[in-house]
Amino acid sequence: MKKTTKLLIAIFSMGIFIACSCSSSNDETVNEQPQEETPKPNPEAPEETEEETTNQTYADIEVPANAGNGMVWQFQEDLSDDFEYEYAGNTSLTTFGNDKWTNFYHNAWNGPGPTIWKHENVTVSGGNLRLLTTRVEGETKTYSASNGNRTDKATRLGCITSTKRVKYPVFVEARVKVANAFFASDIWMLSPDDTQEIDILEAYGAQDSRNEQTWFSERFHISHHVFIRQPFQDYQPKDASTWQKIDGYPYTSSDWVRIGIYWKSPTYLEYYINGNLIKVMDNLDTVGGKDGIDPLNYTSPTGNAADRTGLNKEMDIIINAEVQNWNAEKGRMPTDEDIKNRPEDHTLKVDWIRVFKPVTQ
C-alpha cells in the first residue's frame, strides 16, 4: 500500500480448515509438522480493484479486529513502517528505517538449518522491504537433523528485528508477497528470552512439487510456540486449524496478502487474512479438538496448570526468510539454478507493517 493513491481491497470467499465457515473433510492430512529450530538464549487469484483516494495511507485501512467497548485503535507510528524510502543494505550490523529496525536477528544466532542470515541481504526499495537470497560457492553449514548432524549448501537470507517491543493488547498486520521459493517467509514476534513466540506469517511458497512441497505451499501456517529452555522443550499447536488453505490463493505466494493478529491477552489471539477472521485461540487447554495455547504448562513457573501465564511477555517483531531444518532434511531448499535464474521469486517482499493499540475513546 503506497502513500499516494492505492488501496488494495481483496475480495474472496474464505476456504479454511475448521476455524470458521470451513470445510476440510476432503483434504489430505500431512504427516509432517514444522519443527523449527528456535535459537538458544485451481481457483484464480483474487481480483484487485483500485479506489482513488486523496490522502489514504496504510494507517487508514480499517482495522478488522474489534477494539472493544468504548475503545478505538491508535496507530503506533514508532512501530509501523510503510518502507517508502531507500536502503541499499549494509555489510555490518546497523539500524535503518528511522532506527525502527536492525538488519539482523535479535541475538547472534545466524539462522536455522542451512540458513545464514546476512546483513547485506536486507534492502528497501520501490516501496518494499526486500529480503534477498544469495549463495556463495562452496559455503556449507552443519545443523541438527533427525538422525544426527547434517551438512548442506548454505543459503544466505535476510532477517530484521524491531528496535522496540510490543505487548498485548496489540494488533499487528502486514501486507506481504510470500517468496515463490523453497524456504519459509516469516513475520513473527518473540520474547527476548526466546520462551514465547507468536507467528503472524509462516508460509512455504514454492510453486513446485519437488520433494512433496505442494501441500505446504497451498496452506498458510497459523501457529505459536511456548518453550522451556533447560532442558529444551517446544510446544506448538498441531491440529487441523493450524494449516489454512485460502480461496483465491492456490499457493501462499500466488498474490499479495494482508495478514495480521490481534494479541488481545495472554490467553486470546485472533488471526486475520485480508481483513477476515480465520482463527481464534482462546483457551490455554486443548478443547474440542483445537490445541490450546499452553496445555503442557510450559508457561507455568511451578509446572502447575493453575500458574500458567500464557503469552504474557513483551516481544520483538521479526521479519525473515529461512530454510528450516525439517525442510532441508527433506531436500526442500533452493537449488543454485533457482537462486540464479529467479531472483525476484527468491525475494521476500513486505509492502508495509502496522501496529495499533486499543485506547479509551
Per-residue pLDDT of 23-47, as tens digits, reads 333 343 344 555 555 554 533 444 4
What type of residue sits at position 172? V
Q: Which of 36, 84, 202, 218 is catalytic?
A: 202
Q: Beta-strand (E) ranges in 108-232?
A: 115-117, 122-125, 128-131, 140-145, 148-153, 155-157, 159-166, 170-177, 184-190, 196-204, 220-221, 223-228
Model pLDDT for residues 311-328, shown as the tens digit of each residue: 999 999 999 999 999 999
For cell 538458544, name the residue: 40
Q: Which of 36, 197, 218, 329 is catalytic?
A: 197
| Exposed e or buried b per residue across 115-140, where buried means at least 16 C-beta atoms within 10 angstroms of its C-beta | bbbbbebbbbeebbbbbbbbbeeeee
For cell 531444518, name the residue: 325
pLDDT of residue 170: 98
pTM, two decimals, is 0.86
* Cβ-based neighbour number of residue 91 at 10 Å: 9
The overall average pLDDT reported for the chain is: 89
**Residues forming a β-bridge with 155:** 115
120 a catalytic residue: no
pLDDT of residue 56: 84
Cα–Cα distance list, 59 to 157, 158, 192, 252, 275 (Å)? 29, 26, 27, 24, 14
**Residue 152 pLDDT > 50, yes or no?**
yes
202 a catalytic residue: yes
Per cent of the chain over pLDDT 70 is 85
Q: How far apart are CA 242 and CA 226, in angstroms?
A: 15
